[in-house]
Amino acid sequence: MNYKRNLFISFEGPEASGKSSQLRLLSKYFHLNNIPHLVTREPGGTTNAEKLRKIILNKKESITPTEEILLLMAARLNHINKVIKPALKAGKIVISDRFADSTFVYQGFVNNYGMQKTISLHKIFLDNFLPQKTFLFLLSPKQINKRLQNRKISNKYDKINPSFHAKVIKGYKKLSNNNKRFCIIKGDTSIEHIHDKIVKELNI
């Protein structure tokens, strides 16, 4: 089977949108079709970045918005240099569960640091390194809360708070508007239907 090499894909969306399950399904599909790939996540993806993840998502010890952005970007740079670029160079497809768009939305928009300011910092520090394709999973805040009620709260952003999730969704919509990199996935359709849509969109 012919496949696209050096492809960097990210999965984005609010909490409980179904992105991580779909990412696992896509990885299984690649595996079954002998397509070399690497699955990773943010914040994290390297030993040091996973350490920073613990600090960033800690519920007990808070950090300032600027500290949070700097830690996220430091973790990301380490992730890009140590994992993503080498895998792409080796001809693999890289799929990341969240990437820079999460920072633009959660820190830039939701936490009011400024979306444009955050995008500018990404251009300066990370050379504007972005995925070629981003699958953006969207659900209504009501649906998210319903799903989260059945889940263990694991980090400080897993809040059961409709206005928080509504702002996350608004931020993603603003960011993805008129941007061809994004493929919008309605998270409330069937798992099989979403998987087929993703595979079709990738045209692999």
Residues at the site binding ligand TMP, with contacts judged by CB under 6 A: 15, 41-43, 57, 72, 98, 102-103, 106-107, 155, 157
**For residues 38 and 85, is the Cβ–Cβ distance under 8 A?**
no
**For residues 92 and 37, is the Cβ–Cβ distance under 8 A?**
yes
Question: In the chain, count of helices (H) and strands (E)?
Answer: 9, 5
- Secondary element (H or E) of residue 155: none
Q: Report how far apart the first and last C-alpha atoms of the chain are (Å, whole number).
A: 8
In the complex, least distance from residue 54 CB atom to ligand TMP, rounded to whole angstroms = 12
Task: Rank residues 102 and 198 by Cβ distance to ligand TMP and give the closer one.
Answer: 102
Tokens of 14: 């609010």
**For residues 175 and 105, is the Cβ–Cβ distance under 8 A?**
yes
Going by C-beta distance under 8 Å and a sequence separation of 6 or more, which residues neighbour residue 63? 55, 56, 71
Task: Rank residues 71 and 88 by Cβ distance to ligand TMP and give the closer one.
Answer: 71
In the complex, least distance from residue 42 CB atom to ligand TMP, rounded to whole angstroms = 4
- What's the helix, strand, coil split of the chain in %, to 5? 55, 15, 35
In the complex, least distance from residue 45 CB atom to ligand TMP, rounded to whole angstroms = 10
Task: Rank residues 35 and 185 by Cβ distance to ligand TMP and give the closer one.
Answer: 185
Task: Rank residues 15 and 94 by Cβ distance to ligand TMP and give the closer one.
Answer: 15
**How far apart, in whole angstroms, are the C-alpha atoms of residue 156 and residue 48?**
20
Task: Rank residues 41 and 92 by Cβ distance to ligand TMP and give the closer one.
Answer: 41
In the complex, least distance from residue 200 CB atom to ligand TMP, rounded to whole angstroms = 24
In the complex, least distance from residue 160 CB atom to ligand TMP, rounded to whole angstroms = 13
Task: Rank residues 4 and 46 by Cβ distance to ligand TMP and give the closer one.
Answer: 46
**How far apart, in whole angstroms, are the C-alpha atoms of residue 81 and residue 126?**
10
Which residue's C-beta sits nearest to ligand TMP?
157
